[in-house]
Amino acid sequence: MPEFEETDFVIVGAGIAGLRAAIGLAGDGARVLVVTKEALGESNTNYAQGGIAVAMSGEEDVALHLEDTVNAGDGLVNREAARVLVEEGPQRVEELLRWGTDFDREGGQLMLTREGAHSRNRILHAHGDATGAEIGRSLLRHARSMPKITLTEWTTTLDLLVEGGEVAGAVLLSREGEVRQVRSRAVLLASGGAGLRVLGLEGAVPVEGGLPLMVGGKIIGAIGLSGDTSEHDGQCARAGAEAVQ
């Protein structure tokens, strides 16, 4: 195996989640390695069409956004998660604007449309239905301007380094077949999607689009896949949780 490289954080995935996390960590002075198994810019984020619902007109609007979201969920919404979403939304959008996201405007003001169960106009779009592509473009541009961030494309995360029972980095495979072992304080799995599907303990082949989660040299599941649940979900989720700690 090759020698160990070192960084502070490895982030698996260069979609909106991975890039935003990298910008935050590098802004605090950390060295960050972002890896993506495809070209930079190729992710679900790039294909997201619809907009972002955000309450930009103060506290009353935020409270109404929360009620709209909870009501639209017909009992399925986690109120606390929705509260964080609606309260932090305006700050996150301000941030994107500072970093150059070109949301659609009308008469110089942000253009807000109304969709679904929203009781006010509060949906932002960018370049019509290219909202995700525009957000991804601006995040990538901002990340590229930060010297502490290293962006590496065509590099698949194969495994997590585990030392003393704790995640200590990641094993990466380049398109050219080069294997790299990178030690880090933490590994952030931002590989897309929240679904879990366990694929079997031996000889399983991860489905395209997911992160093969290997611990101790065995594939124990995949993160980033939607699909069946099974009795092994708890095991997979625990391993995933350890990975991001």
Q: Please say which residue, 193 or 242, places its beta carbon nearer to ligand FAD.
A: 193
CB of 28 to ligand FAD, least distance (A): 20
Q: How many Å apart are CA 168 and CA 187, to the nearest integer?
A: 8
CB of 70 to ligand FAD, least distance (A): 17
Residues in the chain: 245
Residues with Cβ < 8 Å from 94, sequence gap 6 or more? none
Q: Please say which residue, 168 or 190, places its beta carbon nearer to ligand FAD.
A: 190
Q: Please say which residue, 45 or 138, places its beta carbon nearer to ligand FAD.
A: 45
Query: Could you tell me if 12 and 157 are in contact, meaning their C-beta atoms sit under 8 angstroms apart?
Result: yes
Q: Please say which residue, 46 or 66, places its beta carbon nearer to ligand FAD.
A: 46
Query: Could you tell me if 25 and 9 are in contact, meaning their C-beta atoms sit under 8 angstroms apart?
Result: yes
CB of 183 to ligand FAD, least distance (A): 17
Provide Rg for the chain, Cα atoms.
19
Query: Could you tell me if 182 and 160 are in contact, meaning their C-beta atoms sit under 8 angstroms apart?
Result: no
CB of 39 to ligand FAD, least distance (A): 9
Give the residues lining the site for ligand FAD (CB under 6 A). Answer: 12-18, 35-38, 43-45, 47-50, 132, 156-157, 190-192, 211, 224
Residue with tokens 């009501």: 71
Query: Could you tell me if 155 and 175 are in contact, meaning their C-beta atoms sit under 8 angstroms apart?
Result: yes
Q: Please say which residue, 37 or 59, places its beta carbon nearer to ligand FAD.
A: 37
Query: Could you tell me if 132 and 45 are in contact, meaning their C-beta atoms sit under 8 angstroms apart?
Result: yes
CB of 213 to ligand FAD, least distance (A): 9
